[in-house]
A and B are shown apart, each in its own frame.
Chain A
């Protein structure tokens, strides 16, 4: 590859580098440089608020403190619970809707387009909208709930309910994404497979689990990884809906990080937590990229 690169005429090489430069410079400036500083900050004890006070080198102390902090482990467990519940729900709903919308009917394309809207909206505004609807006194959701059960639910002031409130909102935003990818995946299944199964008299359920699902697994796996990464770093919705409360019981790791950095201004500690978070996300992204390359090689 490298030899090919230099064998090209000079003008091509210059053009290639010139074209890459703006993008590369911006990303180095905005990711690589901050990342290096972030890592080095994580070995110091200091606060961005008191920049006059010299930073104190503490080695791995920030990391040791964080990783032995029981409260932080609880945040990780809560984040894990949230990710598990919300992604499962989105996949169940998304796959069902995509499966039903495979059938051709008049308004299908219009319905499909409309259903995609929620994921394009501003998450923070969506969070406020749902907070408005989740109000336990006069919110429309509690009105509907009380019609069915006769009782009102304290959505945002009880930990478990607050988790569900965020899950319902997150599912509202991101199920369209699963619908979109599942539809693309289902369309990729060759028609001939279904015809063969039809001849054998296989039931619709059998066809779905033995033909549709296995053959659309690669794209669904991509969807799963993207959803796992995104919901793991979910910040806006918790900010808008629960503010991490009641207490700090609905704080995700990202939220705790935001608080450590911008409410308490423990910059060193926050940097260490950011590095831990980045390592986890980069690990997940690497799986994503490896899988994509292996898919590209197979086809």
Chain B
């Protein structure tokens, strides 16, 4: 290999390397900042090696030295809210989406195209535009600042995605499966439950993974609908930012707590990323 072609190979390599620093650097920085004590946090040049300090995590979980102190942001309540609401919302969205996706895949009903566009609009509509209305609707229904309110929101933001992705997975199951069951005298519901559903198990899991991540990350709706009791983790972090004298160690530790479940779920569903990120309109797996 001559020098020129080696140089030609080096440019893409350097480019990828630079991009990786840009892409992974901030996550690395988040992780190490969450272990920095106040002294190490603001030194210039920034330290990469330092004695780890657990005060951030102690403050986040309200344990150890930070137990019952006012300075600690204490996100345990918010963490529980987030877990309950994200899982419940995911369950409902996947349930509704699976049913609707099956109908959309197997039947030609009047207005099907419009229905699918209408479903798609959950992704397109800016949250803040709908908030203007939701705000008063949820207060009137007594759902403001309740877990049920957040669960409804988490179901709503995901049901369209779940419908589109599940339709894609059902499209991949041959219609003959039900045809044979029907000929043998089984009802269509039986065929759906006992034959088709087991065949899309992987799809349901992937859909649930996406719904969970989006529900877990949801901020715009939750920030306006929850004020005290039902605050989710992103809202809690945002509120801690608003107060004077931001405790960056705590914020970073809370950020790590927020990020870890996402990375785990992301790892589990990575093969279906293309489908999940394009609303299921492109490809069944990447």
Contact = CB atoms under 8 A, between A and B. Distances in A.
Contacts of A52: none
Given A270-B132, A292-B281, A23 B97 contact: yes
Interface in A72-96: 93, 96
A262 B156 CA distance: 22
Contacts of B122: 27, 30-31
B262 A4 contact: no
Interface in A151-203: 172, 175-177, 180-181, 183-184
Given A23-B163, A257-B132, A289 B120 contact: yes
Interface residue SS majority, chain B: helix
A64 interface: no
B252 to A, nearest CB: 7
Interface stretch (B49-57, B58-66, B216-224): B216-224
A121 B262 contact: yes
Nearest to A262: B224
Report the interface size class on chain B.
35 or more
A229 interface: yes
Interface of B: 12, 15-16, 19-20, 22-24, 26-27, 29-30, 33, 41-46, 95-97, 99-100, 102-104, 106-110, 112-113, 115, 117-122, 124-137, 152, 155-156, 159-160, 163, 187-189, 192, 213, 216-217, 219-220, 224, 234, 237-238, 241, 248, 251-252, 255, 258-259, 262-263, 266-267, 270, 273-274, 277-278, 281-283, 286
Interface of A: 1-2, 4-5, 8, 11-12, 15-20, 22-24, 26-27, 30-32, 34, 37-38, 41, 48, 51, 93, 96-97, 100-101, 103, 111, 113-126, 128-130, 132-133, 137-138, 140, 143, 172, 175-177, 180-181, 183-184, 219, 222, 226, 229, 233, 235-236, 239-240, 254, 257-258, 261-262, 267, 270-271, 274, 277-278, 281-282, 284-285, 288-289, 292-293
26 contacts: A15-B188, A19-B99, A20-B104, A23-B97, A23-B100, A24-B100, A27-B160, A31-B122, A34-B130, A38-B133, A41-B132, A48-B135, A48-B136, A116-B273, A125-B255, A128-B251, A133-B29, A138-B41, A172-B26, A184-B274, A236-B219, A258-B128, A274-B130, A277-B126, A281-B124, A285-B117
